[in-house]
Amino acid sequence: MSTRSTLSLLMANVLNGMTHLSMDIQLMAFRFLELVVLNFPSSFPRYAEQAFNNFVAVLSNDRIHLQDKSKLNSVLAGLAHCLSLVARVTENDDASNRLVHNRPMGELWKPTLDEDNPGSGAFATSDVLIKLQNLIRILVNSIEVSASEICAKPANDAQSSEALLSALHCLHLICTTFIHEAKKSQMEFGRSNTQFGPDWLNSSVLVYLKKLWGVKRLFHEKGDDRFFVFNLKIAELFLCLSTCVDDTMFPAEELCQFVSSLFTKAKVLRNKDLMETHLSPLITCISGLIANCADDSKGYLLEAFTDAFRDSKVDCKLMLPYLDAVGEMLLPEKSGIWFTEIDSGLSEYRSAWIGELPGILLQSVDKAPSVTKVVLELLLKIGQYFPTTEFGNLRPFIQLFGTKSSSGTVEAGPFVSLPHDCQELVISCLYYFSSLLPDTIEPLACCCLSDKLDSLMLIRIIEVLQSTYKAGNLQITEQLSFLSLLMARFDVNCGMSCTLEDAEKVSNWKTFKTLNHLILTYLSEMGDGSLVLELMWNNLSNEIVSF
C-alpha cells in the first residue's frame, strides 16, 4: 500500500475518532493528528477544514475544561502544531520560507503527496479562516477560565498554567495568520482582498481579544514571576496586532503603558532565567510600537526600555535583541521605520544608547565574544549614518587600543587579540569617529608595535589613518606623530652584530621594510619634504631618544 493510501485511511479513522462520544478516544485521535502533521505536513491541507471544525467542537465542550487539565493541554498542543503549519505558509513575506515567496498560495497548499494527481484541489483558505475565527472566542474563554483558577489557588497550578500559555500561543499563531491575510493587496482564492482586511480584524477578532485586558489586569496585581510571563505573552499578542488595528478600538497609549510596566517589572524579577527566556519578543517589537504611537505616549516607554537596556548584562541572552532594537531605532534603513528627531523625541535616548555601546564592547571581548562583532557593526553603521556628529560619549572606545598606567606607559588593549574581522571593523570605525583620534594615536601605535598584531592589519591601520588625513578629518601634526612613533619604535630584534643576510631571516624584517616604504610614500604625499621633515623632526628625535 502506498504512503498516500495509508495516510488517507489513517486520516479517515482519525477524523472519525475526533467525533467519538468517548473523550479518551477523541484525545487519542487528536494525538494521531498531531503525529501526522509533524511527519507529513503536506497532507494536512486536505483535512484542515474538517480538523479545525473538530477542534472547535471539542474545545467548546465544557467537559474538557472541567476534567483533568492534561487532556486540555494535549488538545491544545495538537492545535498549536496545526496552526504553526498554517502560519508558516501564510507568512509569504518570510525570507526563510523561499517556497512561499513568488508562488500563488493556492499552488503552495497543494499536498506534495498528490503532485502526480492533477485533480487534487487547493487549500480552501476562506473556510479555514472562519474556523480560526471561531477558535479565537473559544481560546479566550479558555484563558479566562484558567486565569481564574490560577489566581484562586494559593499554590502553583502547573496544569492550568500550561493550559493558559498553550491557549495564548495558539491565539498568537492565529493572529499571525490573520495579519498576513489582512495585508494582502490582491484578490486570492476568488475572494475580495477586503473580506479579511483590517475592518474584519477590528469587528470580528478584537471584540474577543479585548477580554484579555481584564485578564492582564488580574495578573498585574500578582507579584509572582509566572504572572509576569502570562502578561508578557498577552503583550506579545497585542503587539502582533498593533500595526493592523484601529487605534479607537485598541488604544496605543494603553499598550505603551502596559509594555512599559513589563520592562520595569523585568528589572526586579527574582528568576532572571525566566526573563531571558520570555522577554525577547517584547524587545523585538519595541521599535514598531514606538514608531506608531503618539509622541506623548513615547516618553515612559522609551525611559523603561532604556533603563532595561542599561541594566542588561553583556553575557545575557537578551543583549543581542536589545542591540538589534537599538539599531532599528538608530538606523531607519535597517527596519524601514523612519523616526524624525522632532516628532519622535528620540534624540536624548539615542545619545544614551550610543553611550552604552563602548562599555558593552569592552566587556564583551572576554565575556561574550558573539556580542563583540554585533556591537562593532552597529558602531560602524552609526558612524556612517551620522558622519558629522561629535561622538564624545564614545570616548571609552579608545580603551580598546590601550590604557595609560600610573607610571605613564601605555599598555596595549584587547584590540590586538580580536579576530581579524573584528579588527577590521574597529579600524573602519576610526575613520568615522575621527574626533576620537587625537587621544587614540598613542594607544593605537602601541597596538601596531605589538608582536600579536598581524602585519597586514598593521598596514591596514596606516592606510585608514592616511585616508582620514586626506579627508580632512585628521590634523597633519597628529598623523605625523603617529607615523613618527611607528618609525622610531618598531623593533626588528636583529641584534648588534646581525648581518644583512641574518636580517632577512628575521620574521618581521619584511614587515619593517614594507612599513618604512609605506610611511615614506605617505610622507611624500603630504607636501614639501623639508616642511614635513621640520614638522615631524622633534617628534621623531624625541621618540628615538626616549626609546
In the three-class reduction of DSSP (H, G, I as helix; E, B as strand; rest coil), residue 410 is classed as: strand
Question: How far, in Å, are 339, 375, 432, 441, 532 from residue 365 at the CA level?
Answer: 32, 11, 22, 22, 39
Q: How many CA atoms lie within 13 A of 111 on its CB side?
A: 21
* 145: amino acid identity, one letter: V
Closest CA to 424 of 465, 461, 394: 461
Q: Which three cell numbers stand for residue 451?
A: 608582536
Give the single-character DSSP code of 205.
Answer: I
pLDDT for the residue numbered 496: 45
What is the C-alpha separation between 346 and 329, in angstroms, rounded? 8
pLDDT for the residue numbered 401: 93
In the three-class reduction of DSSP (H, G, I as helix; E, B as strand; rest coil), residue 412 is classed as: strand
Q: Which three cell numbers stand for residue 105?
A: 498560495
Our measurement of the distance from residue 385's CA atom to the centroid of its chain's CA atoms, rounded to an integer in Å, reads: 20
What is the residue extent of each domain of the chain? Answer: 1-91+122-185+194-244, 390-547
Question: Which mean pLDDT values do the consecutive 10-residue runs of the chain (547 residues) have?
Answer: 74 82 83 85 85 90 76 91 86 46 45 40 64 91 87 81 93 88 55 61 78 81 80 89 71 84 85 84 88 78 93 93 93 61 68 94 94 96 80 88 80 92 95 89 90 91 92 88 82 54 62 85 77 68 63
Quick one: CA dihedral 174, 179, 182, 185, positive or negative? negative
Question: How far, in Å, are 7, 212, 265, 533 from residue 528 at the CA level?
Answer: 86, 76, 65, 9
pLDDT for the residue numbered 435: 87
Question: Global pTM?
Answer: 0.81
Q: Which three cell numbers stand for residue 498?
A: 646581525
